Each structure stands twice: as structure tokens, then as C-alpha cells.
């Protein structure tokens, strides 16, 4: 009897040890998955800073204020419709981001702000953004209206003249700015970023 009781006692200890081991493994998995800090794939602004406010008319003649977008994630890109390379490539990335948001698509706004107001009239910008996604908000205006926005976001613009006054190219900064749901400038993305990287950051910010 004593031998049998000893065996049963060993069995109980064995299974208790198995349960403790399984519990520890599950705890480690939980900590790794849920408790580890998230690492952003964009360049983080730490701490996030209030995004410079601007209020203008969009290409449809509607009043637009960045502060009115609180509660949404906003992606800002500064470019021009005659741009031969970086702008269409970046807009294609933003198109894929919007398409990948699924049910969260209405919680994210993409804003295209022209750096070439002389040529980028509202109809021109509207036709341009609609080639990528009709929900993209296009903004243009006079140079005096747009200059403060460019300056506040540190947008670099250099004009190289061509054969006529209307034939020129613009060398410009190509970063995408992410404004979080609290209206803070939270992340920036360099040219060539993967749409999946932006999506992952947005999904984290939206919870």
C-alpha cells in the first residue's frame, strides 16, 4: 500500500509540474504578445507634438480644418500633379493603405496638399487624386495660402525652370506625416515605405 501511495503521489507531482510549466509558457506568450511595447515602423516623434493647424478650402470648395479631424488618423502628403516619379509612387502607396484598412477605412483620412498652386487648380488636383482613390482629400490654393502650411511642416521646395514659365520641375521633400486621433504629429514615413508598415502602425493607433 505504501508503495502504491508513493507512486500516486509522484504522479500527482508530475502532473502538477506539467500544469505549472504550461501555465508559465502561456504567461510568457501573453507577456510577449500583449505587454511588450509596440515598436513603430515609421519614424516616431517622441513625444508626439500637436500637428500644426491649418484651415483652407478643399478642391470641392468645402472648408477644411485639420483640427476637425480629431478622432481620425490623418496621413498628409505634399506633392504636385506634374511630378514624374516620387508623387505618383507615394500616392500609389497611400491608395494601398486605404484599400487595406477594411472596416477602419472611414477612420483614416488621406490629404494631398499641392506644392504647385500655379498649375494645380482645383479641377486638376481633383482629377489627380481620384485616379488613386476618390476619398482622398485634395487641397490647393494660392501660394500665400499654402506657404504657411509648407513652412509649418518643414516642406522643402526648389524650382528648376524649363523652356517656358509653365514648364518646370520641383524638387521637394517626400515624407508622409501621420497625425494621430488626438491631433498630434506622431510619425513620419520616408519615400519607399511599405504600405503594410503604415497599415500596421495605423492599426496599433486605432487599437
Q: How far apart are CA 179 and CA 177, in angstroms?
A: 7
78, 27: one domain: no
156, 93: one domain: yes
Residue 4 has a pLDDT of 55
14, 69: one domain: no
72, 4: one domain: no
141, 67: one domain: yes
Long-range pairs of 41-44 with CB within 8 A, sequence gap ≥ 24: 41/193, 41/197, 41/198, 41/200, 41/201, 42/178, 42/187, 42/188, 42/189, 42/193, 42/197, 42/198, 42/201, 43/187, 43/188, 43/189, 43/190, 44/186, 44/187
Question: Which CATH number covers residue 95?
Answer: 3.40.30.10
163, 128: one domain: yes
Q: The domain containing residue 1 runs over which residues? A: 1-36
64, 90: one domain: yes
138, 58: one domain: yes
Structural domains of the chain, count: 2
62, 114: one domain: yes
Residue 36 has a pLDDT of 73
Per-residue pLDDT of the chain (207 residues; tens, 9 = 90+): 455 555 555 566 665 665 666 666 665 554 455 557 889 999 999 999 999 999 999 999 999 999 999 999 999 999 999 999 999 999 999 999 999 999 999 999 999 999 999 999 999 999 999 999 999 999 999 999 999 999 999 999 999 987 777 788 899 999 999 999 999 999 999 999 999 999 999 999 998
53, 31: one domain: no
31, 120: one domain: no
Q: How far apart are CA 137 and CA 54, in angstroms?
A: 14
Residue 124 has a pLDDT of 97
116, 29: one domain: no
At 197, list the grid cell: 508598415
Q: How far apart are CA 81 and CA 128, in angstroms?
A: 6
Residue 166 has a pLDDT of 79
Amino acid at each position: 500500500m505504501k508503495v502504491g501511495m508513493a507512486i500516486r503521489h509522484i504522479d500527482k507531482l508530475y502532473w502538477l509540474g506539467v500544469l505549472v510549466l504550461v501555465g508559465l509558457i502561456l504567461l510568457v506568450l501573453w507577456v510577449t504578445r500583449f505587454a511588450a511595447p509596440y515598436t513603430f515602423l515609421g519614424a516616431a516623434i517622441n513625444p508626439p507634438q500637436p500637428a500644426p493647424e491649418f484651415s483652407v478650402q478643399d478642391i470641392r470648395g468645402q472648408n477644411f480644418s485639420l483640427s476637425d479631424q480629431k478622432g481620425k488618423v490623418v496621413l498628409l502628403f505634399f506633392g504636385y500633379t506634374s511630378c514624374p516619379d516620387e508623387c505618383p509612387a507615394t500616392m500609389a502607396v497611400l491608395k494601398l493603405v486605404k484599400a487595406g484598412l477594411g472596416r477602419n477605412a472611414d477612420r483614416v483620412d488621406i490629404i494631398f496638399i499641392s506644392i504647385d498652386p500655379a498649375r494645380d487648380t482645383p479641377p486638376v488636383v481633383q482629377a489627380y487624386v481620384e485616379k488613386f482613390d476618390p476619398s482622398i482629400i485634395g487641397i490647393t490654393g494660392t501660394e500665400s495660402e499654402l506657404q504657411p502650411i509648407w513652412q509649418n511642416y518643414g516642406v522643402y521646395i526648389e524650382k528648376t525652370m524649363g523652356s517656358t514659365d509653365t514648364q518646370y520641375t520641383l524638387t521637394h521633400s517626400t515624407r508622409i506625416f501621420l497625425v494621430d486621433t488626438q491631433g498630434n504629429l506622431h510619425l513620419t514615413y520616408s519615400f519607399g515605405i511599405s504600405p503594410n508598415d503604415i497599415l500596421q502602425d495605423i492599426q496599433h493607433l486605432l487599437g
